[in-house]
Amino acid sequence: MNEFDKKLRKQQQNINQLLIEFLPQETSGYHEIVIEAMTYSLLAGGKRIRPMILEEVYGLFKPKSLSIEPFMVAIEMVHTYSLVHDDLPAMDNDDLRRGLPTCHKKYGENIAILAGDALLNRAYEIMLEGVMKYKLGDQGLLAASCLATNAGTKGIIGGQVADITYEDQAVDMDVIGYIHQHKTSALIEAAFMMGGYLAGQSDEVIKRLNRIGRCIGLAFQIQDDLLDITGDEAKLGKPILSDMKNKKTTYVDLKGVEGSKVIVADLLEEALSVLKSFDSTKTVFLRDFINYLKERTF
């Protein structure tokens, strides 16, 4: 394992620990099952790239601080809630996620809906508490607000609605681009921008961070489309060819395997190039991360 892999692994462990700390800690009541379901889905694997990005971006401008922890946890909770709801029978109807039964397969549809709701709600609860506890003022509020916008109808919910609406239909690049940007890229963009907001950065800096996030987010989703055709089921933890099965038009349908790979490479190069505008002694991990994405197989 190389240095980057080691750091990645360690970061993931740290974030998993944080996630546990910030889950609801109630020890009484008649609702333990929903906390079990929240915990199950939150800890069922996951690359944790969103909180990792947030932390690294913050580190470009400021020394380490406990004050960003609630935001790292919140973005991962929002990501997990969206997966739990997307997997539901009424939505994508998926039985497996990261090699494990999806939340509704394990706890039933009703508890899965409520566990998703509770993760979304908890994300805001801990950010609000964090803003107060660490007296973050507008820097914290802008970060939380950025997550809200990117999680909402202008972000992942909008993307999922479009995805459902155009399922079974032949669609053009405009629609696919919209779905990819909203469904996948929005939260990765949020991770970049939240790190900047928490560090009190200007609109101009936030704009550059947003651009890096969008390049990575789009590249990531196109890779997902590619892996759904060329990937290894065991590594992915889910069946391949699901887009074909669900009659979903993907990037690969419109641009081909090779064409899509070129687009991914271009997007990641663009991300690296914008990243160069920041202090190069502090961007090592993010650069390694982008290079690591170039080779992503799961």
Structure tokens at 130: 């964090």
Rounded least distance, CB 68 to its own copies, Å: 17
Stretch that binds its own copies, among 94-102, 109-117, 235-243, 246-254 (CB under 8 A): 109-117
Task: Report which DSSP code applies to 68.
Answer: G
Nearer to its own copies, 14 or 145 (CB): 145
Q: Of the two residues 18 and 175, which places its CB atom closer to its own copies in the complex?
A: 175
Integer Cα distance of 136 and 199 in angstroms: 10
- Is the distance from CB of 201 to CB of 59 less than 8 angstroms? no
Binds its own copies by CB under 8 A, chosen from 129, 172, 232, 266? 129
Q: Looking up tokens 């928490």, which residue turns up?
A: 198
Amino acid identity, residue 115? A
Binding pattern to its own copies, positions 164-183, x when CB under 8 A?
xxx--------x--xx--x-
Taking CB under 8 A as the binding criterion, the range among 106-114, 243-251, 266-274, 277-285 that sits at the site for its own copies is: 106-114
Q: From residue 27 to residue 66, what is the string marking binding to its own copies with x (rule CB under 8 A)?
A: --xxx-xxx--x----------------------------
Structure tokens at 138: 């507008």
141 binds its own copies (CB under 8 A): yes
Q: Which of residues 143-162 bind its own copies (CB under 8 A)?
A: 144-145, 148-149, 151-154, 157-162
Q: Is 91 in the site for its own copies (CB under 8 A)?
A: yes
Closer of 58 and 107 to its own copies (Cβ): 107
Residue type present at position 42: L
Residue type, 261: K
Token look-up 């947030």 returns: 54
Q: Under DSSP, is residue 6 helix (H, G, I), strand (E, B) or coil?
A: helix
Following DSSP, what letter does each residue of 171-233 receive, concatenated?
Answer: --HHHHHHHHIIIIIHHHHHHHHHHHHHTT--HHHHHHHHHHHHHHHHHHHHHHHHHHHH--H
* Location of structure tokens 């990792």: 52
Contacting positions for its own copies (CB under 8 A): 24, 26, 29-31, 33-35, 38, 81, 85, 88, 90-91, 108-111, 113-114, 116-118, 120-122, 124-125, 128-129, 131-132, 137-138, 141-142, 144-145, 148-149, 151-154, 157-162, 164-166, 175, 178-179, 182
